[in-house]
């Protein structure tokens, strides 16, 4: 069966510090991968998605970047965090080629920027 | 483009009462629709999905949803609310691009004792 992991589960970082969040998927190959953010009181915002190693599409220009160094690994980064980067970050994956676009979500990372 | 609208950002029901969470979609023919649930500080979990096989879809935890093309709706219901149903619920449909989901803004369900 497939599983998706995210770490860390929670993170408190000062403004201006770097960020690295990691997501890995097990039990599948060549998944489509996604990073979402939920800010307080707001819905799901798609940040990035990837259809393969090294292939990243950015949905919203901002202070963040993403990378996919391995088939089942997706990393969200920032060089300098802003207060507005606080939120709940979710990674998700999808079976490529499946018509319904169903996505499977990880447990999330709670980021607080102080 | 496909879009999803959830009516009511907050819904409160008493324990044992009917739960009704509303979702309307835009599109001439939406082949797929989803309801996800999110418990506090957790990821999204699939409750149920419509894939054109049947208009009444049964999901986990006693929830079901009915696809009504004439009303462009896919409302989520549960006959009797339980305290453990308190969570945020998202309606979703394929959209944005060929590989994406478009999510509604979410409905926070509170269950009162």
Nearest CA in chain A to B35: A102
CA distance B27 to B14: 34
Q: Which of A44, A90, A100 is nearest residue B49 as measured by Cβ atoms? A: A100
The answer, for A92 touching chain B at a CB cutoff of 8 Å, is yes
Interface contact B94, partner A, CB < 8 A: yes
Asked if residue B85 has pLDDT above 60, the reply is yes
CA distance B58 to chain A (A): 17
A49 touches chain B (CB under 8 A): yes
Q: Is residue B49 within 8 Å of B32, Cβ to Cβ?
A: yes
pLDDT at B29: 55
Interchain proximity A101–B90, CB inside 8 Å: no
Task: Give chain B positions within 8 Å (CB) of A37.
Answer: none
User: Would strands A10-13 and A109-113 be described as parallel, antiparallel, or unpaired?
Assistant: parallel
pLDDT tens for B21-69 read: 999 998 665 678 999 999 999 999 999 999 887 899 999 999 999 999 8
Instruction: Characterise B56 by phi-psi region: left (phi > 0), alpha (psi -120 to 50), beta (else).
Output: beta
The conformational region for residue A85 under phi > 0 = left, psi -120 to 50 = alpha, else beta, is: alpha
Which chain A residue has the Cα nearest residue B105?
A43
Contact B71, B7 (CB under 8 A): no
pLDDT tens-digit readout, A56-110: 998 886 789 999 999 999 999 999 999 999 999 999 999 988 878 899 999 999 9
Q: Give the integer Cα–Cα distance in Å for A90 and A88.
A: 7
* B80–chain A Cβ distance below 8 A for any pair: no
B70 contacts chain A (CB < 8 A)? no
Buried b (16+ CB within 10 A) or exposed e, B23-62: bbbebeebebbbbbbbeeebbbebbbbbeeeeeebebeee
Q: Measured between CB atoms, which of B41, B42, B51 is closest to A100?
A: B51
Given the structure tokens 């879009």, which residue do they identify? B3
pLDDT mean over B3-21: 95
């Amino acid at each position: 069966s497939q599983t998706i992991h995210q770490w860390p589960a929670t993170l408190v970082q000062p403004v201006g510090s770097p960020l690295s969040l990691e997501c890995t998927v097990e039990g599948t190959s060549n998944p489509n991968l996604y990073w979402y953010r939920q800010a307080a009181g707001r819905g799901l915002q798609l940040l990035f998605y990837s259809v393969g190693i090294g292939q990243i599409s950015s949905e919203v220009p901002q202070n963040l970047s993403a990378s996919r160094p391995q088939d089942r690994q997706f990393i969200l980064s920032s060089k300098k965090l802003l207060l507005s980067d606080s939120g709940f970050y979710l990674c998700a994956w999808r079976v490529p080629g499946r018509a319904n676009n169903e996505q499977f979500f990880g447990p999330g990372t709670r980021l607080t920027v102080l | 483009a496909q879009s999803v609208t959830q009516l009511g950002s907050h819904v409160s029901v008493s324990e044992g009462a009917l739960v009704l969470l509303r979702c309307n979609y835009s599109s001439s023919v939406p082949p797929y629709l989803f309801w996800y649930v999110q418990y506090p500080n957790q990821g999204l979990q699939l409750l149920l999905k419509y894939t054109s096989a049947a208009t009444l879809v049964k999901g986990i935890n006693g929830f079901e949803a009915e696809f009504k093309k004439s009303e462009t709706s896919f409302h989520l219901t549960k006959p009797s609310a339980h305290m453990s149903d308190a969570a945020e619920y998202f309606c979703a449909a394929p959209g944005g691009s060929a590989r994406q989901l478009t999510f509604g803004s979410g409905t926070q369900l509170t269950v009162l004792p």
